[in-house]
Amino acid sequence: MPSVKIARKSTDTDMTPFVDIAFLILSFFIMATKFKPPDIVEIKTPGSVLSQKLPENNAVMISFDSINRVFFTVLSDKDPQKYTDIISEINTGQNLGLTPAEIANFRNIYMVGVPLSGVKQLLGMDAKAVEKIRQPGIPVEDSTNNQLFWWIRAAKNAFAGEKLNYLIKGDANSKYPAFEAVVAALKKNEEFKYNLITQLDGAEASLYEANKAKNK
Amino acid sequence: MASIDTGGDGGQKKGPGVKKAKKLSTRVDMTPMVDLGFLLITFFVFTATMNEPTTLDLNMPKDIKDKKEQTEVKESGVLSVMLGKDDVVYYYEGKLAEDGSNFKSTDFKGIRDVIINKRKDVMDRYVPDPACEAKMAKEGKPISNCADKDFVVIIKPSKDATYKNTVDILDEMTINQVRTYAMVKIFDQEYELIKKTEEFNQAGIK
């Protein structure tokens, strides 16, 4: 009996196209990812049902952590001049006597959390060194010396004529008086509309969507 | 291509004394590379989308000193919600009774029903208001908006409440579609009552 010979095929697959695709996707994601700036303080935001996106430009962010320390951050990647404007106004308004180098350094420091008297020392430091030190937070809870007011006022003047968003990022476990003091500083500047930064809470959010659909 | 053919012996015949070198495969095993690639992809996909923060809009009222300019609300439609220590929610309807008899406590799960019931209660008592209905019709909004126009929730976080509690109660307003709510400072009398209730509860546990 003549047996039929089956040609032996290699079981090796050519992985090359696979690798090509994998790295193509990989490079896409690397490009698309924007790494968030290093967190000087750890803030765990509370959950919420709303899934609105966060404005990331033309904004000031006021953060407070679980032990009620308040920090001030300017978010203006598109127009770096604003950083200079804000710190210059603080400088002249409060007589801090900052050098031009210190003023320029304001941009590199992501979060400011010191009393006005400590600003000069903070801006004299390298951004890397600032990450390591422990900032005491901007004093706010004493209503006669709510220093956040000055920061907000400087930002408001720097962004005059443009839309400025006020982001409030609070730690879920911080106490209410910290939030109240932040709001008081904003109110004193005649600002009444804020964005609270939250994390999307999946289960509650679906309940909300269902509720909304039902009421329609 | 990943595997490069180095071209065999290129046609040159080697002499009889020259040993033929063993031909090694130039193919590289790509599998670990694929593994690594996809591992990185997974990492970037997760970090890119999982950590997106969202925002909750908050509008605060202006501080009005003048009594005449203050907004007046119907007492029957008001629900005051106070936030206390350890995620406890206190509430009362309308005006706080002198003896504090209508001062009740619940938790964040219970407050939803309280809000829903109060709203239903307000809507049941609604007497048609033609002026409001005409206005809603003009603006293209449902007439049902008029029925609960008297329903107001007043949020009063105490100093023992956490920020999470504050956001949770604002969320509750969104979930239950409460259109009119305000966040105001807690009254001393209310804070005293919260303190008393807390003390009472603690004594009960002991």
pLDDT, tens digit, for every residue of A162-184? 788 888 888 888 888 888 888 88
Of A16, A55, A169, the CB nearest to B30: A16
In angstroms, the separation between the Cα of residue B12 and the nearest Cα of chain A is: 29
A-proximal residues of B, 62-101, CB under 8 Å: 62-63, 83
Q: Are strands B181-183 and B152-157 parallel, antiparallel or unpaired?
A: parallel
In angstroms, the separation between the Cα of residue A20 and the nearest Cα of chain B is: 9
Output the pLDDT for position B44. Answer: 79
Distance separating alpha carbons of residues A179 and B183, to the nearest angstrom: 12
Q: Which residues of B touch A54 (CB under 8 A)?
A: 52-55
Phi then psi dihedrals of residue B37, to 5 deg: -55, -50
Task: Report pTM.
Answer: 0.71
Q: Strand, coil or helix: what is B200? A: helix
In angstroms, the separation between the Cα of residue A123 and the nearest Cα of chain B is: 29
Q: How far is CA B152 from CA A154, A212, B71, B104, B189, in A?
A: 36, 19, 11, 18, 21
pLDDT, tens digit, for every residue of A105-145? 888 777 888 888 788 888 888 777 777 778 888 887 776 77
**Eight-state DSSP code of residue B54:** E
B-proximal residues of A, 54-113, CB under 8 Å: 54-55, 64
A-proximal residues of B, 147-176, CB under 8 Å: 157-168, 170-171, 174-176
Nearest to B54 by CA among A167, A29, A206, A39: A167
pLDDT band at B123, cuts 50/70/90? confident
Of B34, B54, B174, the CB nearest to A199: B54
A59 touches A166 (CB < 8 A) = yes
Q: Which residues of A touch B166 (CB under 8 A)?
A: 176, 179
Distance separating alpha carbons of residues A20 and A24, to the nearest angstrom: 6
Interface test with A, best of B55, B83, B123, B177 (most A CBs within 10 A): B55
- Whether B33 has its CB under 8 Å from any CB of chain A: the answer is yes
pLDDT, tens digit, for every residue of A4-13? 777 777 777 7
Distance separating alpha carbons of residues B176 and B122, to the nearest angstrom: 14
In angstroms, the separation between the Cα of residue B72 and the nearest Cα of chain A is: 20
* pLDDT at B10 > cutoff 50: no
What secondary structure, in 3-state letters, does chain A show? Answer: CCCCCCCCCCCCCCCHHHHHHHHHHHHHHHHHCCCCCCCCCCCCCCEECCCECCCCCCEEEEEECCCCCEEEEEECCCCCHHHHHHHHHHHHHHCCCCCHHHHHHHHHCCCECCCHHHHHHHHCCCHHHHHHCCCCCCCCCCHHHCCHHHHHHHHHHHCCCCCCEEEEEECCCCEHHHHHHHHHHHHHCCCCEEEEEEEECHHHHHHHHHHHHHHC
Q: Strand, coil or helix: what is B183? A: strand
Q: Note the Cα B61 to chain centre separation in Å.
A: 21
Q: Which residues of A touch B1 (CB under 8 A)?
A: 16
ipTM of the complex: 0.72
Distance separating alpha carbons of residues B106 and B92, to the nearest angstrom: 11
pLDDT band at B69, cuts 50/70/90? low
Name the residue type at position A66: S
Q: What are the contacts of B33-39 at 24+ separation with CB within 8 A?
A: B33/A15, B33/A19, B34/A15, B34/A18, B34/A19, B34/A22, B37/A19, B37/A22, B37/A23, B37/A26, B38/A22
Q: Give the residue-averaged pLDDT of B30-55.
A: 77
Q: Which residues of A touch B58 (CB under 8 A)?
A: 168, 193-196
In angstroms, the separation between the Cα of residue B164 and the nearest Cα of chain A is: 4
pLDDT, tens digit, for every residue of A69-81? 888 888 877 777 8
pLDDT, tens digit, for every residue of B83-105? 888 888 888 887 777 777 777 88
